[in-house]
């Protein structure tokens, strides 16, 4: 997958460039599968299959000369988990599609202590309850499970507001469960949003790392989000409480974070 910055380009321009790629790709053993184009930011993300990164780049060079600013190797499984259905349009047909995804992490607080207190069977039973609650919320809000982390779940959303709605649904159901069963199952949640290709070498590398760090710094029963999530939810009926800039592991500068009021 690669990233191009093409400010001022139109959907017609990008469709024509993709058509040119398809016209020469067979000579390099490459197949350009689809692309995402965001006219507001002027960003294009191309997904291709090929024997090497160089072969994929050479198709662009020969077809139209629009060389990508960054390119990373991705695997089919993570691509499907993050994106869901890929854009499918006739070659040369103009369209736009956002590549931005929200990344959500859940984490069961005190899982080690929980295992010591309840034993393996009791801890596994609570983990299964967590998994069921989280997966129900993902299904209701068009989220996709990317992987199970052992003490939680990592998920992806096309809609940033959908990710926040899912997180609220998770915490409310967990709170209702505690009232009914008088049993504590505290979960923290972190959400970030970003594009698939950045300075990292992994798919959604920056967004994944930030969401994981936000989850780690969240309070039990909390939902902590990045400033990008808050900005992409402008106009939605959410309440965000600022927690101020925080120093997060792996980030060189303090990061502004917000807590979602869900009660």
pLDDT, residue 183, reads: 62
Q: Which two tokens stand for residue 125?
A: 């039973």
pLDDT at 124: 85
Do domains 2-83 and 101-261 share one topology? The answer is: yes
pLDDT confidence of residue 194:
96
Task: Please report the pLDDT score of residue 182 as a whole number.
Answer: 57
Do 243 and 224 meet the contact criterion of CB atoms below 8 Å apart?
Answer: yes
Q: What class is the 2-83 domain? A: alpha beta
pLDDT per residue as tens digits for the range 24-54? 999 999 999 999 999 999 999 999 999 999 9
Q: What is the mean pLDDT of residues 130-145?
A: 97
Backbone phi and psi for residue 239, each to the nearest 5 degrees, phi listed first? -110, 120
| CB-facing half-sphere around the CA of 188: CA atoms within 13 A | 18
Report in angstroms the alpha-carbon separations of 135 from 107, 187, 216, 259. 14, 14, 20, 22
Query: Is the CATH code 2.40.50.140 the one for domain 101-261?
Result: no
Q: Are strands 153-157 and 143-148 parallel, antiparallel or unpaired?
A: antiparallel
Domain residue extents for the chain: 2-83, 101-261
Residue 212: CB partners within 8 Å, gap ≥ 6?
A: 105, 154, 190
* Tens digits of residue pLDDT in 223-262: 999 999 999 999 999 999 999 899 998 888 899 999 999 9
pLDDT in tens, 101-131: 999 999 999 877 777 777 778 778 888 999 9
Distance CA 167, CA 258 (A): 14
Q: Is the pLDDT of residue 212 over 70?
A: yes
Per-residue pLDDT averaged across 138-143, rounded?
A: 97
Mean pLDDT computed over every residue of the chain: 93
Residue 205 · residue 194 · CB < 8 Å: no
Half-sphere exposure of 78 (CA within 13 A, CB side): 15
Does 15 have pLDDT greater than 60?
yes
DSSP helix/strand/coil, 49? strand
Q: Could you report the per-residue pLDDT of 54-79, keeping only the tens digit for each?
A: 999 999 999 999 999 999 999 999 99
Region 133-138: mean pLDDT is 98
Closest CA to 196 of 106, 102, 65: 102
Q: What is the pLDDT of residues 159-208, one digit of tens each?
A: 999 999 999 999 999 998 876 665 678 999 999 999 999 877 799 999 99
Tell me what pLDDT residue 118 has: 72
The pLDDT of residue 119 = 79
């Amino acid at each position: 997958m690669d990233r191009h910055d093409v400010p001022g380009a139109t959907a017609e321009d990008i469709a024509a460039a993709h058509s040119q790629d398809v016209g020469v790709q067979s000579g390099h053993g490459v197949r350009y599968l689809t692309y995402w184009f965001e006219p507001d930011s002027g960003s294009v993300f191309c997904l291709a299959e090929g024997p090497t990164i160089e072969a994929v780049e050479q198709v662009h060079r020969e077809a139209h000369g629009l060389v990508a600013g960054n390119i990373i190797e991705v695997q089919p499984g993570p691509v499907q988990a993050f994106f869901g259905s890929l854009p499918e349009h006739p070659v040369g047909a103009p369209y736009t599609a956002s590549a931005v995804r929200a990344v959500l992490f859940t984490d069961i607080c005190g899982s080690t202590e929980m295992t010591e207190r309840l034993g393996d069977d009791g801890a596994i039973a609570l983990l299964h309850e967590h998994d069921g609650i989280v997966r129900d919320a993902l299904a209701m809000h068009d989220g996709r499970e990317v992987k199970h982390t052992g003490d939680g779940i990592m998920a992806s959303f096309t809609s940033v507001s959908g990710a926040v709605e899912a997180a609220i649904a998770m915490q409310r159901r967990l709170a209702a469960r505690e009232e009914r069963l008088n049993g504590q199952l505290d979960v923290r949640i972190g959400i970030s949003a970003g594009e698939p290709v950045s300075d990292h070498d992994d798919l959604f590398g920056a967004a994944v790392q930030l969401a994981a760090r936000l989850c780690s710094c969240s309070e039990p029963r909390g939902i902590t989000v990045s400033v990008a999530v808050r900005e992409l939810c402008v106009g939605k009926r959410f309440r965000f409480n600022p927690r101020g800039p925080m120093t997060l592991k792996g980030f060189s500068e303090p990061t502004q974070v917000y807590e979602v009021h869900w009660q």
